[in-house]
DNA sequence: AATGGGACCTGCGCGC
DNA sequence: TGCGCGCAGGTCCCAT
């Protein structure tokens, strides 16, 4: 789903495609995704405002505007940003909000499950989500990462997905990073040796960077800004491979549930 | 403090 | 072929 690599891919594409363009109109097909302010105010305050800068924090996208406000976009599970809209004037079924830009083209926010969240706010730094967000893997040292795990008894995989602990990692990359580091997802975080912790830290950063290079993983709804799928799926080792052969040992990939999330691993390779 | 489960939603794939 | 059901996961919220 959209995790750090997918959101970063979109961020980089938005940088090239829409910065310094102006929003000349907003069409709302489903107001549920607009969390603040109310729809009418949201639409009115976005009119004739230019997009100055794109920022990504964890899985959150932030568009800083010439009005001084910011538009934040969380894709949650099935959100997409598409630009320019393909096929002319009519949006697709899942298009919840459309932004008409000064070049006459549409930036569409699509979200089949309507979990996504748009906010137009004065200061994104004051958002609760932002204030509570943990550091990104790239902002940490191996020493700091070790320290963070030291007194945590939580299962390592659940901890990696906790955005307040570390930001950007979701279910897919938590599974993949743990496979690469050969660590059982059920292990308590503080049971990892220094060596295992360092290896895990390296593999987290590697898998995220690899995925960014391949423009993310299109397993469900995620696509790039252009609508093209991301290509990292072909490099997945465990995610969504229950019962299939482990590429390393030929054993069977197992699926269990941790905190209600599908967890895939190789019981032979991961200890 | 840590953990689990439900809620938010829709679409898909499965079994019958 | 059609239908109902379970499931997918990011985040929040509540209960234990």
pLDDT tens for residues A160-177? 999 999 999 999 999 999
Average of per-residue pLDDT values in chain A: 92
A111 touches strand C (CB under 7 A): no
Neighbours of A39 (CB within 10 A): 14
Bin A260: left if φ > 0, else alpha if -120 < ψ < 50, else beta: left
Query: CA A25, C1' C9: Å apart?
Result: 32
Q: Which residues of chain A (121-160) touch nucleic strand B at CB < 7 A?
A: 151-155, 158
A188 touches strand B (CB under 7 A): yes
Residue nearest to nucleotide B11 (CA to C1'): A112
Query: CA A145, C1' C14: Å apart?
Result: 30
A94 touches strand B (CB under 7 A): yes
A163 touches strand C (CB under 7 A): yes
Query: CA A54, C1' C1: Å apart?
Result: 49
Segment A42-59 shows an average pLDDT of 96
Q: Does residue A6 carry a catalytic annotation?
A: no
Segment A93-97 shows an average pLDDT of 92
Query: CA A74, C1' C15: Å apart?
Result: 28
List the catalytic residue out of A11, A35, A52, A261.
A261
Segment A9-24 shows an average pLDDT of 96
Q: Residue A40 above 80 pLDDT?
A: yes
pTM summary value: 0.95
Nucleotides, chain C, CB distance < 7 Å: 7-12
Q: Residue A74 above 90 pLDDT?
A: yes
Q: What is the pLDDT of residue A174?
A: 92
Q: Residue A211 above 80 pLDDT?
A: yes
Cα A42 to the chain's mean position, in Å? 24
Whether a cis peptide bond, with omega within 30° of 0, leads into A153 is: no
Q: Which nucleotide is nearest to A151 (CA to C1')?
A: B1
Q: Residue A1 above 80 pLDDT?
A: no
Q: What is the pLDDT of residue A11?
A: 95
Q: What is the pLDDT of residue A243?
A: 87
Identify the band that residue A88 occupies on the pLDDT scale cut at 50, 70 and 90.
low
Residue A147 near residue A234 (C-beta atoms within 8 A): no
Cα distance between residue A83 and residue A49, in whole Å: 18
Q: Residue A248 above 70 pLDDT?
A: yes
Identify the band that residue A242 occupies on the pLDDT scale cut at 50, 70 and 90.
confident
Lowest mean pLDDT segment, chosen from A145-149, A181-185, A216-220: A216-220
SS3 state at A115: coil
Beta strand pairing status for A70-74 and A117-121? antiparallel
List the catalytic residue out of A57, A59, A155, A157.
A59
- Tokens matching residue A258: 């941790």
Lowest mean pLDDT segment, chosen from A31-35, A157-161, A234-238: A234-238
Query: CA A77, C1' B9: Å apart?
Result: 11
Q: Does residue A52 carry a catalytic annotation?
A: no
pLDDT tens for residues A107-134? 999 999 899 999 999 999 989 889 889 9
Taking alpha carbons only, the member of A29, A117, A27, A131 closest to residue A78 is: A117
Q: Which nucleotide is nearest to A190 (CA to C1')?
A: B2
- Tokens matching residue A70: 């910011």
Segment A238-262 shows an average pLDDT of 88
Cα distance between residue A69 and residue A222, in whole Å: 27
| Structure-token match 């743990």, residue found | A178
Residues in chain A: 271
Name the β-bridge partners of A29.
Answer: none
| Structure-token match 């750090």, residue found | A4
Q: Does residue A47 carry a catalytic annotation?
A: no
The alpha-helical segments, DSSP class H, found in A80-221 are 128-131, 142-150, 156-160, 171-180, 194-213
Residue A171 near residue A261 (C-beta atoms within 8 A): yes
Q: Residue A91 above 90 pLDDT?
A: no
Residue A232 near residue A210 (C-beta atoms within 8 A): yes
Taking alpha carbons only, the member of A133, A135, A184, A136 closest to residue A158 is: A184
Name the burial class of residue A205, with classes exposed (0-12), middle (13-18) and buried (19+) by CB atoms within 10 angstroms of its CB: middle
Q: What is the pLDDT of residue A161?
A: 92
Identify the band that residue A57 occupies on the pLDDT scale cut at 50, 70 and 90.
very high
Neighbours of A19 (CB within 10 A): 14
């Amino acid at each position: 789903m959209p995790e750090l690599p997918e959101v970063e891919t979109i961020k980089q594409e938005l940088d090239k495609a829409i910065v310094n363009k102006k929003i000349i109109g907003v069409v709302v097909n489903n107001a549920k995704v607009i969390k603040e302010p109310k729809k009418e105010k949201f639409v009115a305050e976005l009119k004739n405002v230019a997009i100055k800068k794109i920022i990504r924090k964890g899985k959150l996208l932030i568009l800083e505007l010439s009005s001084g406000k910011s538009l934040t976009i969380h894709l949650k599970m099935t959100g997409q940003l598409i630009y320019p809209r393909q096929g002319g004037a009519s949006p697709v079924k899942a298009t919840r909000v459309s932004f008409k830009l000064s070049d006459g083209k549409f930036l569409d926010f699509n979200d089949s499950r309507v979990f996504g969240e748009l906010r137009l706010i004065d200061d994104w730094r004051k958002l609760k989500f932002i204030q509570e967000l943990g550091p990104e893997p790239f902002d940490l040292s191996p020493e700091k990462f070790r320290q963070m795990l030291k007194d945590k008894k939580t299962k390592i995989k659940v901890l990696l997905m906790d955005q307040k602990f570390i930001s950007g990692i979701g279910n897919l990359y938590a599974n993949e990073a743990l496979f690469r580091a050969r660590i059982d997802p059920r292990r308590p975080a503080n049971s990892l040796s220094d060596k295992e912790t360092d290896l895990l830290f390296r593999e987290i950063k590697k898998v995220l960077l690899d995925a960014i290079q391949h423009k993310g993983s299109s397993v469900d709804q995620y696509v790039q800004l252009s609508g093209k799928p991301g290509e990292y799926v072909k490099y997945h080792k465990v995610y969504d491979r229950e019962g299939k052969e482990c590429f390393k040992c030929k054993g069977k990939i197992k699926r269990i549930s941790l905190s209600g999330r599908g967890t895939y691993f190789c019981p032979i390779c991961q200890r």
